[in-house]
Amino acid sequence: MTGLLTFGETMGLVAADGIGPLGHAKSFSFGIGGAESNVAMGVARLGGAATWLGRVGPDATGALIGARIAAAGVRTLAITDESFTGLMVRHRRSGEFAQVDYHRAGSAGSRLSPADVPAAEVTAASILHVTGITPALSESARAAVFQSIETARAAGVAVSLDLNYRAKLWSRYDAAPVLRDLASRADVVFASPSEAGLFVDTADIPAELAKLGPTEVIVKDGGAGCIALIDGERHTVPALPVTVIDPVGAGDAFVAGYLADRLAGAAPLERLTTAIASGAFAVTVPGDCEGAPTRADLAALTGDDVRR
């Protein structure tokens, strides 16, 4: 077993510095972002083994993506495609609202296909992690997700799914049946209340999702913490009080914390506690993946705020 395997599109990220309308921004930062690579980097920073696979363009952004992910300690399988690397542009219109625009139609990442995900990589993994973003990119990317899941299930490899619904990629009507199908094939499912509400009754989200088949259901609810149903046992873990600098990437850090501890053989409550702490730490740092913590960061999170 080689730890976590995940795949999907990672893009260049142009982020306006400061808060206000995009047209008034005076400076910008450039980085990378992608739900799957964020999780892989988060797992690696917490000491787990992780592999990320995806297509990138023959451009500087594609090269940066491969280098940044590898530098985080992730085994990186970047396939160079003839198309361009996708971009996203983000700005904070106000202190409470962030907007992200995608430039990814026809991108290298959207051209992912089943042939890009070798069965040997899937069967060698301890956990296959997928998201609801990749199936929205293209028919070939969707086929890659479903094929990899079936390969994992046949080999006894645990399948983890973060629903990660993106309204700018597909409608609720189109997404709901696909996400429901994916959830029914997964062992571990992560969802926000609104994402789960696409296809289950929200009166008892963990129980309703568990009816579809997963044995581990974790509902991420931001400042309210999380609730989970794991192997039939319910858990509730409150959020940690922190100063929020940038909420983007918190969900991916949460998932990384849970999966890193799962790989390490931790008990369910310990996994959830690490997930909460990882998500809390991530929001204190700007950027999609820059805030993913190490074990030392988590140990310091509830301690003295001055390190000498």
Say if CB 145 and CB 113 are below 8 A apart: no
Q: Does 101 participate in catalysis according to the annotation?
A: no
**DSSP structural state of residue 126:** S
The pLDDT-based confidence of 307 (bands split at 50, 70, 90) is very low
Query: Is the pLDDT reported for residue 65 higher than 60?
Result: yes
Please state, in angstroms and as integers, the Cα–Cα distance from residue 149 to each residue in 40, 102, 161, 200, following that order.
Answer: 17, 27, 10, 22
pTM of the model: 0.93
Is residue 121 included in any domain, yes or no? yes
Q: Measured between alpha carbons, how far is 99 from 89 in angstroms, rounded to an integer?
A: 8
| The dihedral sign for the CA sequence 66, 115, 155, 159 | positive
Residue-level pLDDT at 290 = 72
With residue 281 as reference, give the H or E element that holds it. helix 268-282
Task: Give the rounded percent of residues in the chain with a pLDDT score beyond 70.
Answer: 94
Tokens 């990138």 belong to residue: 56
The pLDDT-based confidence of 64 (bands split at 50, 70, 90) is very high
**DSSP structural state of residue 84:** P
| Lowest-confidence pick of 80-94, 104-118, 153-167, 169-183 | 80-94
Residue-level pLDDT at 28 = 92
Tokens 């609202």 belong to residue: 97
- 1 CB burial (10 A radius; 0-12, 13-18, 19+): exposed
Is residue 308 included in any domain, yes or no? no
Is residue 40 included in any domain, yes or no? yes
Question: Can you give the residue range of the structural domain that contains 280?
Answer: 4-298
Q: Measured between alpha carbons, how far is 142 from 185 in angstroms, rounded to an integer?
A: 14
Is residue 179 included in any domain, yes or no? yes
Q: Measured between alpha carbons, how far is 227 from 230 in angstroms, rounded to an integer?
A: 10
Is residue 305 included in any domain, yes or no? no
Number of domains in the chain: 1
pLDDT in tens, 3-22: 999 999 999 999 898 888 88
Report the chain's mean pLDDT, rounded to a whole number. 92
Q: Which two tokens stand for residue 35?
A: 């739900």
Is residue 306 included in any domain, yes or no? no
Is residue 307 included in any domain, yes or no? no
Task: Give the rounded percent of residues in the chain with a pLDDT score beyond 90.
Answer: 76
pLDDT in tens, 228-260: 999 999 999 998 887 776 667 789 999 999 999
Average pLDDT over residues 212-224: 94
CATH code of the domain containing 196? 3.40.1190.20
Q: Which residues contact 37 (CB under 8 A, 6 or more apart)?
A: 6, 8, 10, 52, 54, 65, 69, 74, 289
Nearest CA-CA partner of 235 in 272, 190, 264: 272
Q: Which residues contact 246 (CB under 8 A, 6 or more apart)?
A: 98, 283, 285, 286, 287, 291
pLDDT in tens, 105-138: 999 999 999 999 999 999 999 999 999 999 999 9
Q: Measured between alpha carbons, how far is 7 from 148 in angstroms, rounded to an integer?
A: 10
Query: Is the pLDDT reported for residue 96 higher than 70?
Result: no
Is residue 284 included in any domain, yes or no? yes
Paired strand residues for 190? 162, 218
Given 252, 261, 288, 297, which residue is catalytic?
252
Query: Is the pLDDT reported for residue 176 higher than 70?
Result: yes
